[in-house]
Amino acid sequence: MSITVTTWSLEQTSLDDLRPAAEPSGDVTIVRAEVPSPEFSRFLYTAVGGDIMWTDRLGMSYAEWERALAKPGTETWVAYDRGTPAGYVELEAQPGGSVEIVYFGLIPAFRGRRIGGHLLSYGIRRAWDLAERWPELPATERVWLHTCSLDGEHAMDNYLRRGFKLFETKEEQAEDAAAPGPWPGAF
């Protein structure tokens, strides 16, 4: 059976657009995963996206993961709650000073704890100062992302609250499928 999926593209064109969320209570830290690791990135991808239909990277080979993570200006920032990975944001530099937030989200057990707004705010700041860590890249002039009607119920609201502005909406038909979960049989 086919379903209609709406995809929204949002952007910020200045760091001044950012409306940061408050920091959550407790021992939440955000650390850059500086060593590209296909195993760790695939874990984050499946743990965060398993229940919300993230499937585009499931068929990637190890070598494809390596290439994706090794691109200059690609960074993974991981939120930890008392030492346990809670979610992540993956940034990817693109031509012309644009940085895409390629993936962002929380592992289901950590949703609803006010970590998401804080992690997104932190990731946006890192997108705006990406060229400081990658001097071969131009200064960031735009940070953008897309979300869709299959994403978490609070995703769009979080993006709008952080200061993103909608610039494009698309609808397309997709095959309805069961969420794959972080591993076979998890859901």
Tens digits of per-residue pLDDT, 63-118? 999 999 999 999 999 999 999 999 999 999 999 999 999 999 999 999 999 999 99
- For the chain, the domains span 2-175
> Which CATH number applies to 2-175?
3.40.630.30
| Residue 146 pLDDT | 95
Please list, in sequence order, all residues whose beta carbon lies within 8 angstroms of the beta carbon of residue 116, skipping any fewer than 6 positions away: 21, 87, 105, 106, 154, 158
Q: How confident is the model at residue 180 (pLDDT cuts 50, 70, 90)?
A: low
Q: Hey, what are 159's tokens?
A: 């993006």
Cα-based torsion angle of the residue sequence 138, 125, 80, 43 in order, rounded to the nearest 10 degrees: -40
pTM above 0.85, yes or no: yes
Report the mean per-residue pLDDT for the chain. 93
Tell whether the model's pLDDT for residue 186 goes beyond 60.
Answer: no
The count of C-alpha atoms lying within 13 angstroms of the C-alpha of 103, restricted to the half-sphere facing its C-beta, is 28
| Residue 181 pLDDT | 66
DSSP secondary structure code for residue 125 in this structure: H
